[in-house]
Amino acid sequence: MTKAKNTKKFALVKRQLSAKDPRIKSNAKKEEEKRKDQKKREVKHVETANAALYFRYNTQLGPPYHILLDTNFINFAIQNKLEIVKAAMDCLYARCTPYITDCVMAELEKLGRKYRVALRIGRCIATAVGDVLGVHAVCALCVQRRITSAAWRGCASVWVCS
């Protein structure tokens, strides 16, 4: 009979933990302290809340309502066969003025033939509103800047439909 070959065995030496290994408790405590110090050093910017929102709902809301429409909301209204202005008036029991920003119209135009009905509805019903800082790639950014801009702060009742 032939003799079986003995293969060389690797990694027979015991492994040692380095002094910087995170599994060592003293190192873990030091890292936690560093994280806490970094969190304390961070500056937090908090916007002041409107005084009208003290009771968690806006007491200044009242008709006529100004409604900012988004692409998703227009598509939702089409899927559920809703007329946007009529449904808004039925929901809010008051006169509503829908607004569409230029970036929402540009997004509807980019979406192509599939969304041509939404584009036609958007052109018919809404009062056009210019963009704050030009046409954005993301409409949500434009809508957010539109609401926080000084021009819309004067309106007592702005609704965002997204």
Report the pLDDT value the prediction gives residue 153, as an integer from 0 to 100: 59
Q: Tell me what the mean pLDDT of segment 57-61 comes to.
A: 63
Distance CA 102, CA 143 (A): 10
Q: Tell me what the mean pLDDT of segment 91-115 comes to.
A: 85
User: pLDDT band for position 126 (50/70/90)?
Assistant: low
Whole-number mean pLDDT of the chain? 76
Q: Is the pLDDT of residue 17 over 80?
A: no
Residue with the bigger pLDDT between 74 and 10: it is 74
Strands (DSSP E) found in 43-161: 65-69, 96-101, 127-129, 158-161
Q: What does the CA dihedral 126, 88, 140, 128 come to, rounded to 10 degrees?
A: 10
Q: What is the pTM of this model?
A: 0.55
Report the pLDDT value the prediction gives residue 66, as an integer from 0 to 100: 81
